[in-house]
């Protein structure tokens, strides 16, 4: 077990401690207090409490999104995490915990009240590696977990990609970073931060299009989401394209660094390269020429479809049968919605991801802003903490007042299509809506867990009805 994970795994450890009760003197909770973990409100979380001036937060529901295996020793009332010789140990009621890096001091011992385990808020921030922010006006605790940068070894070099570049100290300053690479609608989209000018060329034997971005590296989040170490190669599987067999990319051995992206073709193709804000497009649908319309030109409305999670950010996980992750469910639904909207005249559709890539929340916003989107719709499936009462239902969320109508329009079709209990179109503090300038809605189609809505979520006929409902809500809102 890595030392960095030892800190994060405390959440999973304390989830087991919820079955034990320690009587302590606690203050009253602030009415309406909420906890938002990784930009999603923690469903079922109880109010924040105070113990002798220490802010205490319920850890059980937070730990559900971390989900690491643990062990429990009832005789010693100790919980262990990790392999022998590399173990994190906590004792219920103790103000200290044993970790591989040494003893961790807690300002207040964990305790349980009404079947909910509480830990110090400071522990969440300093020992679990989460960023903590308290919004007194909104009575909300915001928790954000930055991912580590690690991954398996990559594949060997080939004719398009040089061996991995040596990186002194694990990093090298570049003028730009690649935040995202995806391929949909027969066009490559590269999201970059900083200054990057693409050099695009064609090659044959075999046919391919090569995109070079000089003085550019991968962003840490992109590398983590793709399971890469700096300098490693990666690839994206492409299906449904008549021309493209795959996309591959790597950080080449130049000084300064150079990112190369290769589109593998089954026949020679022309293309057009253009920019939309921080996005670089290599479009195989368009011929060369300045008169070719760009995204949103000719009066078209621009719709961004955002498949939630991706890469190592799996979201909810169903393990009651064959393992099913929320990121897979979201991607499948998003692709169905995209296919339906592509049949509507007057629309341009942009996907924040069309593959198993982890795009940051702000990265999703920046994609929508770059193409000057008219609306953005994020697609998710809900999760429930273990041990909670089985819950079912569909909800559509928004943050900005100007997003309310979009959420309500989608929801009125969605609730009929899902056939699940109506959890309403309602306010929630969402990064993708709060930080974007266009109306944005987040759809929670159903609950992905045993006893929830998993049977419907995995039913192709149900998926088609729900996709049609989302598409219909979007087109009605846009007046199409």
User: Does 47 have pLDDT greater than 80?
Assistant: no
Mean pLDDT of 250-255: 76
Placement of tokens 């300064």 in the chain = 256
Measured distance CA(88)–CA(66) in Å, rounded: 16
pLDDT at 70: 44
Separation of CA 36 from chain center: 14
Average pLDDT of the residues of the chain: 76
- Residues 267-275: what's their mean pLDDT? 89
The more confident residue out of 425 and 187 is: 425
Asked which of 7-11, 271-275, 372-376 is least confident by mean pLDDT, the reply is: 7-11
- Give the best-scoring range by mean pLDDT among 30-44, 122-136, 307-321: 307-321
Give the model's pLDDT for residue 452. 76
Of 128, 257, 244, 123, nearest to 189 by C-alpha is: 244
Indicate whether 379 pLDDT > 60.
yes
Instruction: State the average pLDDT over residues 226-239.
Output: 71
Q: Is 207 within 8 Å of 292 (Cβ atoms)?
A: no
pLDDT at 377: 98
> pLDDT digit string (tens) for 169-201?
234 678 898 988 988 888 899 999 888 889 999
Residues 385-401: tens digit of each pLDDT: 655 677 899 999 999 99
Could you tell me the pLDDT band of residue 332, with boundaries at 50, 70 and 90? very high
Of 298 and 368, which is predicted with more confidence? 368
Q: 253 or 230: which carries more pLDDT confidence?
A: 253
pLDDT tens-digit readout, 137-152: 666 766 665 443 222 2
Which among 70, 114, 64 has a CA at the least distance from the CA of 89? 70
Write down the pLDDT at residue 147. 41
Instruction: Please compute, for residue 115, the number of CA atoms within 13 A of its CA located in the half-sphere on the CB side.
Output: 6
Residue 438 has pLDDT above 50, yes or no: yes
pLDDT of residue 17: 37
Q: What are phi and psi of 12, to 5 degrees?
A: -65, -35
Name the packing angle between helices 404-418 and 460-477 (round to 10°).
150
- Structure tokens belonging to residue 21: 């009760």
- Residue scoring higher pLDDT (296 or 133): 296
14 pLDDT tier (thresholds 50, 70, 90) = very low
DSSP 67: -
- Higher pLDDT: 354 or 127? It is 354
Burial label, 274 (beta-carbon count in 10 A; 0-12, 13-18, 19+): middle
Length of the chain counted residue by residue:
480
Q: Is the pLDDT of residue 375 over 80?
A: yes
Which tokens is 220 given?
């840490």
Between the alpha carbon of residue 120 and those of residues 46, 60, 78, 114, 210, the distances in Å are 14, 13, 18, 17, 52
Give the integer Cα–Cα distance in Å for 361 and 253.
30
pLDDT tens-digit series, residues 207-219: 899 999 999 988 8
Q: Quick count: other Cβ atoms within 10 Å of Cβ 186?
A: 17
Instruction: Kindly write down the DSSP assignment for every residue of 229-279, as one continuous string.
Output: -TT-EEEEE--S-SSEEEEEEEEES-SS-EEEEEEEESS----EEEEETTE
Average the pLDDT over each of 154-168, 245-259, 319-333, 405-419 and give the range with the smallest value. 154-168
Nearest residue to 339 (alpha-carbon basis) of 478, 468, 181: 468
Of the candidate ranges 86-90, 223-227, 364-368, 396-400, the one whose mean pLDDT is the lowest: 86-90
Report the percent of the chain where pLDDT is more than 70.
64
pLDDT at position 418 is 96
State the burial class of residue 293 (Cβ atoms within 10 Å of its Cβ: 0-12, 13-18, 19+).
Answer: exposed
Please give the DSSP secondary-structure letter assigned to residue 220: H
| Cβ pair 384, 43 in contact under 8 A | yes
Q: How far apart are the C-alpha atoms of 384 and 382, rounded to whole Å?
A: 7
Whether 11 has a pLDDT exceeding 80, the answer reads no
Cα separation, 371 vs 215, whole angstroms:
24
Cis peptide before 98 (omega within 30 of 0): no
**CA 153 – CA 213 distance, rounded (Å):** 23
The pLDDT of residue 383 is 83
Q: Would you state the pLDDT for residue 134? A: 64
């Amino acid at each position: 077990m890595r030392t960095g994970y030892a800190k994060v795994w405390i959440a999973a450890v304390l989830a087991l401690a919820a079955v034990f009760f320690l009587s302590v003197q606690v203050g009253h909770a602030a009415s309406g207090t909420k906890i938002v973990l990784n930009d999603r409100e923690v469903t079922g979380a109880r109010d924040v409490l105070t113990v002798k001036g220490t802010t205490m937060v319920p850890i059980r529901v937070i730990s559900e999104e971390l989900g690491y295996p643990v062990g429990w020793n009832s005789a010693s009332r100790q919980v262990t995490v990790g392999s022998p010789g590399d173990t994190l140990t906590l004792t219920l009621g103790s103000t200290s915990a044993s970790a591989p890096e040494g003893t961790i001091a807690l300002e207040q011992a964990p305790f349980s009240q009404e079947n909910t385990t509480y830990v110090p808020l400071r522990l969440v921030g300093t020992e679990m590696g989460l960023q903590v922010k308290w919004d007194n006006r909104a009575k909300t605790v915001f928790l954000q977990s930055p991912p580590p940068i690690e991954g398996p070894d990559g594949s060997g070099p080939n004719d398009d990609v040089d061996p991995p570049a040596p990186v002194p100290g694990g990093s090298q300053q570049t003028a730009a970073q690649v935040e995202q690479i995806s391929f949909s609608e027969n066009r490559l989209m590269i999201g970059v931060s900083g200054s990057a000018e693409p050099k695009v060329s064609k090659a044959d034997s075999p046919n391919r299009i090569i995109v070079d971005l000089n003085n550019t590296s991968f962003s840490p989040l992109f590398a983590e989401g793709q399971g890469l170490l700096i300098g490693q190669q990666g690839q994206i599987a492409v299906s449904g394209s008549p021309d493209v067999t795959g996309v591959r990319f790597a950080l080449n051995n130049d000084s300064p660094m150079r990112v190369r992206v290769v589109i593998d073709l089954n026949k020679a193709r022309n293309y057009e390269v253009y920019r939309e804000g921080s996005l670089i497009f290599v479009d195989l649908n368009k011929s060369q020429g300045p008169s070719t319309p760009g995204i949103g030109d000719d009066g078209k409305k621009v719709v961004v479809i955002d498949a939630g999670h991706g890469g190592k950010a799996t979201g909810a996980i169903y393990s009651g049968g064959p393992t099913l992750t929320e990121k897979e469910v979201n991607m499948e639904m998003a692709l169905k919605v995209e296919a339906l909207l592509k049949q509507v005249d007057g629309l341009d559709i942009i996907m924040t991801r069309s593959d198993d890539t982890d795009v940051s929340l702000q990265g999703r916003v920046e994609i929508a802003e770059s193409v000057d989107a008219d609306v953005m719709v994020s697609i998710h499936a809900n999760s429930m903490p273990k041990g909670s009462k089985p819950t079912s239902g569909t909800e559509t969320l928004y943050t900005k007042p100007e997003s309310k109508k979009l959420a309500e329009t989608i929801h009125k079709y969605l609730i009929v299509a899902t056939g699940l209990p109506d959890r309403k179109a309602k306010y929630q503090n969402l990064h993708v809506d709060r930080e974007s300038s266009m109306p944005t809605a987040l759809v929670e189609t159903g609950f992905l867990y045993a006893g929830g809505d998993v049977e419907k979520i995995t039913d192709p006929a149900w998926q088609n009805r729900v996709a049609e409902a989302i598409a219909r809500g979007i087109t009605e809102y846009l007046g199409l």
